[in-house]
Amino acid sequence: MVAVGSTALFLVAVDSTESIEHESEQDRIENGFIELGHQMASASSGNDVTQSLNLDVGDEGTVASKDTGNIHIQGEDVDTNVSIGAIEYESNNGEKVAYQAGGVFHETMDETQVKSSPPIHYDDQTLSFPIVELAEEGDLNSGDISLEHEETENIHNPNTVEGETVSINVTSQYYLGWKEHFEQTVGDEGDAVQDYGQINESHGYVDVEFGLTSVEAVFENAVVTDEKPPSGDAGGIHGTSLYGDDVNISNIDSQVTSAIADANESHDSLSESESQISSGDYYVNGDLDNDDYNLDTIDISNGNVSVFVDGSINVSEDIQVTGWEEGNEAQIYTTGDLAIDGDNGMYVGESAYSPGNPGGEGDQENIHAKHLQIYGTSDFRLDMSGNDHYEGIIYAPGGTVTSGGTPTIYGSVVVGEIESIDGASEIIHDNDLDDSFEPRMQSGGQIPPEITYLNVVKHELTVEQN
Report pLDDT digits (tens) over 248-305.
788 888 888 888 988 898 888 999 999 999 988 999 999 999 889 999 999 999 989 9
350 and 301 in a common domain: yes
288 and 188 in a common domain: no
Amino acid at 451: I
425 and 372 in a common domain: yes
Evaluate whether residue 438 is within a structural domain. Answer: no
Evaluate whether residue 288 is within a structural domain. Answer: yes
Cβ proximity of 304 and 321 under 8 Å: no
Evaluate whether residue 260 is within a structural domain. Answer: yes
Residue 365 has pLDDT above 70, yes or no: yes
256 and 203 in a common domain: no
DSSP E strand stretches across 161-301: 165-172, 193-198, 204-211, 223-225, 236-238, 241-243, 268-269, 276-277, 280-285, 288-289, 297-299
74 and 131 in a common domain: yes
d(Cα 267, Cα 273) in Å, to the nearest integer? 17
Q: Output phi, psi for 120, to 5 deg.
A: -100, 125
122 and 62 in a common domain: yes
Q: What is the DSSP secondary structure assignment for residue 57, as one 8-state letter?
A: -
Q: What is the Cβ-side half-sphere exposure of residue 128, based on CA atoms within 13 angstroms?
A: 6
Confirm whether pTM is higher than 0.95.
no
Q: Classify 264 in phi/psi space as left (phi over 0), alpha (psi -120 to 50) or beta.
A: alpha
149 and 19 in a common domain: yes
Looking at residue 447, its pLDDT comes to 58
Evaluate whether residue 26 is within a structural domain. Answer: yes
Cβ proximity of 454 and 161 under 8 Å: yes
Evaluate whether residue 274 is within a structural domain. Answer: yes
Evaluate whether residue 440 is within a structural domain. Answer: no
142 and 64 in a common domain: yes
Evaluate whether residue 270 is within a structural domain. Answer: yes
378 and 326 in a common domain: yes
User: What residue numbers bound the domain in which 355 lies?
Assistant: 223-429
50 and 20 in a common domain: yes
pLDDT digits (tens, 9 = 90+) for 125-176: 788 888 888 888 888 888 888 888 888 888 776 666 665 678 889 999 999 9
Give the rounded percent of residues in the chain with a pLDDT score beyond 70.
Answer: 85
How many independent structural domains does the chain possess? Answer: 2
198 and 302 in a common domain: no
458 and 424 in a common domain: no
Evaluate whether residue 434 is within a structural domain. Answer: no
Looking at residue 185, its pLDDT comes to 81
Looking at residue 462, its pLDDT comes to 86
Residue 220 has pLDDT above 50, yes or no: yes
Mean pLDDT for all residues in the chain: 83
